[in-house]
Chains A and B, each alone.
Chain A
Amino acid sequence: MPAPRIRQYAKPKKGTVARLVKSLWKNFKLELIISLVTLILSIFVNLSGSVFASMITDLLTKAIPMKMDPLADVNILTGSFDISLLGGIPLKGVNLVTLVVALGIIYLVGVLCSWTWTRTMAIVTQKYLNLFRNKMFSHMQKLPIKYFDTHQNGAIMSLYTNDIDTIRQLISQSLPNIISTGITVVGCLFVMLSFSIWMTLVVIAGTVAMFFNTKIVGGRASRFFVAQQMSIGKVEGNIEESITGLKVIKVFTHEEDSLKDFEKVNEELYKNSTAANIAGNIMMPINGNIGNFIYVIIAIIGCILYLTPGAQNLSLSGMKVVDTTTFYSALLVPFLMLSRMFTQNISNFSQQVTFVVMGTAGASRCFDLLDEVVEADDGYVTLVNIKYHEDGTFEETSERTRDYAWKHPHKADGTVTYTELKGDIVIDDIDFSYDGKKTVLKNVSVYAHPGQQIALVGATGAGKTTITNLINRFYDIADGKIRYDGININKIKKDDLRHSLGVILQDVNLFTGTVMENIRYGRLDATDEEVYEAAKIANAYDFIMRLPQGFNTMLSGDGANLSQGQRQLISIARAAVADAPVMILDEATSSIDTRTERLAQKGMDQLMKGRTTFVIAHRLSTIQNADYILVLDKGEIIERGNHESLIAEKGAYYQLYTGAVELE
């Protein structure tokens, strides 16, 4: 099988963010519009806070001089004053109470808005992640086995944990942050320009400096955070290996040397983690203080520019500097405030860079999974239950009769023909390669007649499992090379083909759930009695009954609480309950000792009785009764015959059997 690909930290594909946003938009149009509108509103409300401060300042500077007229009864709370908004727009007849009430109302709206958007976005994020997870899982179920053979389990798992989490960050935090910063920055910029173009240029120059700092230091941080992530993976791998191999370490008293090995990866992690955190920690102080420098420079330039007699203000609003008093109160002070808000926003935004980089990479990997091509299935021949009549003819039925036929619709004339399922499987001279380079099977032909037992023997890598992978179409080959009851298997619907094959594999995989549920996995509608019966066939009944809660004992962590042999017996029971007409046993009893195997063998014999069976076995003693034994070597069949004839031949099989040659 092709070697698993190491998890790549490749650059994310272009357009990943756009794709993410697009798919978000497709599913949550209304919510996104609501969020966006309320987000923008709440930004304006936040901005209005500082505007109000300047309005109150203005109110005071207008109201206080009125006190000079001793006759006028000036009351700032109830009086009526004319002020100007943003140094230009006139606002008539206001007082402190109306301003404060207006501010209160605006803030209330703002709070409601910000509540609406944070809540909506949080819900959207969770719903979207759920959708995404389900889509990924559902898509993954449809992927060919090849995908799983070429990707490490850990890498696939990390899509569901780490990568999904980075997407959550991206949607729920970075995205709103980018939008709100963008709007604030554009808004600020506009207002600043309406005050003074020259001073705005200073701010922009400062922003460029912050941008470079973010790019250099922030880029460094992102790089090292990714490196740190990889080091964590290495440390985890090392620890895992040490703990599982602790026995070896102990029996060789190798503790100190292992510690030294661990120190190497630990040191590497330390270095990357330090570098990442240094870059991460210093970005904010630098950006924040660039803001302070900008403040000073604006003040200096402002003073120089406008205090020089005859200087002209250049602004979008055409605001004129009449005298030094207005310059200070109406131009410089509000501008300084705006510039601080502007730079603070930019520097907050720069913090999001790492999240955006990591989120984009994560999303890109998840999209890669979704872009994997699903298992193709053009089959149209289906498997149906049939009922025999007394005269030997049969008809299709929906009940479970344990007799089957292939239902073969003909498109051309619209007729349907039925072929009895007998279990006749013919493999006709196939060549096969997993990667298109290394030939795994060469000129292999196998003829399995109904009810026959075919044994495949050979060293690891000889191609035994590959043959079974082709029969159940985990991997596909050219049309017509494999025929099942005379039908080209590529025409059979994959699900139905696999329903007709009972498979027991060497590596037993159990699922979290009770023993009962695990056996019933073979056939979901099996009754309890049928499950007990299957367990008895597999010779698993006795040990299951001895478990703490019998058949209701919970298995967790892939059945970690059972021995390898017990797990294999459960896997046999699972196949027994499935009751498929053709069986494939791939090293099904390799972990059972010879004595227990003899007991299990009886059940297996019952399972194989009358069924076409392919057996791959390590122990030759278990296949002596096979009708046909095929000896494979480097992908070619080098001998075929039954036990007696092969022994008599005194060839490869004989050597294996007598233990003269190592198997494996």
Chain B
Amino acid sequence: MLKSIFKVLKSVREFKKYAIITPLFMIGEAAVECALPLVMTNFVKILKPENSIQDLLPYFLAIIAMAIVSITCGILGGRFAAYAASGFAKNLRHDLYKKVESFSFENIDHFHASSLVTRMTTDVTNTQNSFAMTIRIVVRAPLMLVFSAIMAFVVGGNLAWIFVAAIPVIGIIFVVLARFAMGIFRRVFKKYDALNESVQENVSGMRVVKSYVREGYEDNKFSTASNNLSKEFIKAEKIVSLMTPLMNTSIHVVYIITMFFAATLIFKETQPYWGTDRDGNPVVLFNWGSLAISDMSALLTYGIQILMSIMMISMIVTMLVMSFESIRRISEVLDEEPTIKNPENPVMEVNDGSVVFDNVSFKYKKEAERYAVNNLNINIKSGEFIGIIGSTGSGKSTLVNLISRLYDTTEGRVLVGGNDVRNYDLKALRDSVAVVLQKNFLFSGTVASNMRWGNKEATDEEIVKALRVAQMSETIEATQERLNKVVEQGGANFSGGQKQRLCIARALLKNPKILILDDSTSAVDTKTDRLIRKALKNDLPDMTKIVIAQRISSIEEADQIIVLDNGEINGIGTHKQLLESNEIYREVYQSQTQKGGN
């Protein structure tokens, strides 16, 4: 656990100074808070007929000075604590983000995307809060305890032992109850999350719910779960609600005992005698023993302060323990080693666009029985046009993911430009292999800003050239804003086909040696599809093109077509060869060309 805490604390960095200054101010504030009751007691003590207002003046000044110190320390401490904690959280999120970006997909699968989001948000917030609490209160509360205890002994002498005796009792009551209740809460909160997940499902599936008229069914399901949850919450709350009364009882008991003994002591030791006030009238004066009446209230104040700081400490300890879980989850991410890393002496240049699969097998999880792709042997020459076809789950996307090394092979090796992909510098490799994914991601901005994802320094001419190959230049040039045309979030203001063509242009701007189109012309009409292929062939003859498609027409002219089935190569050849020899290919072809139906 300590290791995790130190790991996470490394992210404090430039905010360290604030984190160190804060407790100092807190000490100042705590010191004043402890000294103040004593000053006030002494002040009340000299509120006597024989003293004039001049005698009181030093006390006024002292109290005002202390209040000023306390307010200054409080404000500055509060400020620095805010800087330190928020800054720490910022750095932590930064570090996590950077780490996650370095993750391979295997790493991501290991954590699950949604859990990564929680770790970077909720867990960081929890850590931030416990950090803020630590620097503000963890130093302050024990100090208050010690100060108050010393003061109590100074004022009350042996009577202060009553408080010391009460400390462990209160501490134990609190910690036991808190641990008990937290245990229940933690369990119940898991169920609560599950309940909220079911609301999520219900909301996003509302069309299904309404179509099947399942409103009542859903309502019952929800209220049953919610009622059960409520019962458990009530159980926990009943325990928690014991906390305040028990604490109060302890304080009251201490209060009564202190008062009783203090009063007895004062009565026994104090000797009254006759004196006169300023005007010469006879008044009763007292010869106080070890404890004066006015000391009693100071003693009680310190007593309560002691008990309060004990409660504070117990509460903080409990809350810190709770945040350990978040800290552990964060350090788990920080500790994770990316499974795909740059080699030590990376090859920085990809020579050509040739791709070789040498006995490649791959499965997503070590313990998985089934290989996603199995025993692949493929030889692609630089500049070739390769088509890949196969049904859902046959391993097409897996195959191309191996080329840009999004995953490492389980067995065998993938060679690009004659070198094993594992020997390349990752950036160099991925810059030469452009992948256009089926789910096209356009970002809000302009056409030009999206295009420059491919190449930051691309000139307008280069962008137009890429758009021309992707058969998108005319559409863009026809708009008023041309390259500055706004792209809405997710590219919502473009049709599906246009989005796909923009994505192709974006990939071309990388000037890659290998272009992979993963089902990325599915929404493009056949004519434009053909024009794109033609332009790719004529304008970029040296670039290797690997095209995954559902439509036979998209890959008909390929130099080689690979038919994948269940992760294995079912056939390789040209369109003509496959039509003759490959049953699956023929079936697909027929399903797409048969007109009128059977």
Contacts and interface: CB of A to CB of B under 8 A. Distances in A.
Nearest to B434: A251
Contacts of A507: 207
Given A53-B259, A292-B67, A299-B56, A595 B218 contact: no
B222 interface: yes
A198 interface: no
Contacts of B205: 509-511, 558
Interface stretch (B113-121, B157-165, B348-356): B113-121
A63 interface: yes
B210 A145 contact: yes
Contacts of A295: 40, 63
B259 A596 contact: no
Interface in B283-306: 283-284, 286, 293-294, 296-297, 300
Interface string B185-223: 000000000101111111111111111111111110011
A498 B212 CA distance: 7
Contact of A595 (B199, B553, B584): B584
Contacts of A47: none
Contacts of B497: 662, 664
A558 B213 contact: no
Interface string A513-542: 000000001101000000000000000000
B113 A244 contact: yes
Contact of B259 (A56, A61, A284, A472): A56
A296 B495 contact: no
A593 B394 CA distance: 11
Given A141-B219, A142-B215, A64 B245 contact: no
B588 interface: yes
B122 to A, nearest CB: 9
A248 B406 CA distance: 11
A53 B301 CA distance: 11
A67 B272 contact: yes
A539 to B, nearest CB: 13
Nearest to A132: B226
A259 interface: yes
B133 to A, nearest CB: 11
Contact of B267 (A63, A123, A254, A296): A63
B495 A138 contact: no
B255 interface: yes
Interface in B232-261: 233-234, 237-238, 240-242, 244-245, 248-249, 252, 255-256, 259-260
Contacts of B422: none
How would you classify the secondary structure of chain B's contact residues: helix, strand, loop or mixed? helix
Contact of A235 (B44, B121, B523, B584): B121
A117 B203 CA distance: 37
Interface in A201-247: 232, 235-236, 239-240, 242-247
Contact of B271 (A67, A100, A141, A501): A67
Interface in B572-598: 584, 587-588, 591-592, 594-597
Contact of A96 (B49, B207, B264): B264
A319 interface: no
Contacts of A336: 40, 44
Contact of B237 (A68, A96, A126): A126
How would you classify the secondary structure of chain A's contact residues: helix, strand, loop or mixed? helix
Nearest to A473: B210
B361 to A, nearest CB: 20
Interface in B63-84: 63-64, 66-68, 70-71, 73-75, 77-79, 81-83
Contacts of A328: 47-49
Contact of A509 (B77, B207, B277, B406): B207
Contacts of A557: 114, 197
B90 A266 contact: yes
Interface string A88-119: 00000000100010011001001110110011
B98 interface: yes
A521 B214 contact: yes
B588 A595 contact: yes
A269 interface: yes
A339 to B, nearest CB: 11
Interface string B549-591: 0100100000000000000000000000000000010011001
A253 interface: yes
Contacts of B496: 460, 662, 664
Most chain A CB within 10 A, of B67, B203, B240, B597, is at B203
Size band of the interface chain A makes with B:
35 or more
Contacts of A266: 90, 93-94, 97
A643 B596 contact: yes
B20 interface: no
B233 A501 contact: no
A53 B70 contact: no
Contact of B86 (A257, A270, A521): A270
Contact of A282 (B36, B78, B93, B596): B78
Contacts of A127: 230, 234
A254 B453 CA distance: 7
Interface stretch (B143-151, B457-465, B524-532): B524-532
Contacts of A137: 199, 202, 218-219, 222-223, 226
A114 B294 CA distance: 30
A565 B198 CA distance: 23
Nearest to A293: B67
Contacts of B199: 137, 157, 160
Given A624-B597, A658-B526, A501 B64 contact: no
Given A96-B264, A307-B53, A594-B591, A285 B71 contact: yes
B383 interface: no
Nearest to B489: A241
A8 interface: no
A601 B97 CA distance: 45
Contacts of B102: 255
B121 A281 contact: no
Given A324-B49, A511-B205, A250 B406 contact: yes
A156 interface: yes
A664 B342 CA distance: 41
Contacts of A125: 237
Contact of B71 (A251, A289, A644): A289
A289 B74 contact: yes
Given A292-B70, A304-B53, A593 B230 contact: no
B404 A77 contact: no
Most chain A CB within 10 A, of B29, B89, B205, is at B205
Contacts of A138: 219, 222-223
A524 B227 contact: no
B365 interface: no
Contact of B201 (A59, A267, A509): A509
Nearest to B454: A252
A91 to B, nearest CB: 16
Interface string B111-155: 001101100110001001000100010000000000000000000
A505 B205 CA distance: 10
Contacts of B267: 60, 63-64, 76, 96
Given A100-B259, A141-B209, A594-B592, A263 B94 contact: yes
Nearest to B252: A107
B453 A247 contact: no
A64 B272 CA distance: 6
Question: 10 closest Cβ contacts across the A-B interface?
Answer: A285-B74, A281-B78, A659-B526, A509-B205, A277-B82, A130-B230, A664-B496, A115-B245, A122-B237, A141-B215
Given A145-B210, A275-B82, 6 more contacts: A65-B284, A129-B230, A130-B229, A153-B204, A521-B212, A594-B591
29 contacts: A53-B300, A57-B297, A60-B266, A64-B266, A68-B272, A115-B244, A123-B238, A125-B237, A127-B230, A141-B209, A145-B207, A148-B203, A236-B121, A240-B117, A251-B430, A266-B93, A278-B79, A281-B82, A289-B71, A295-B63, A300-B53, A333-B294, A337-B297, A498-B211, A509-B207, A521-B214, A662-B496, A663-B525, A664-B497
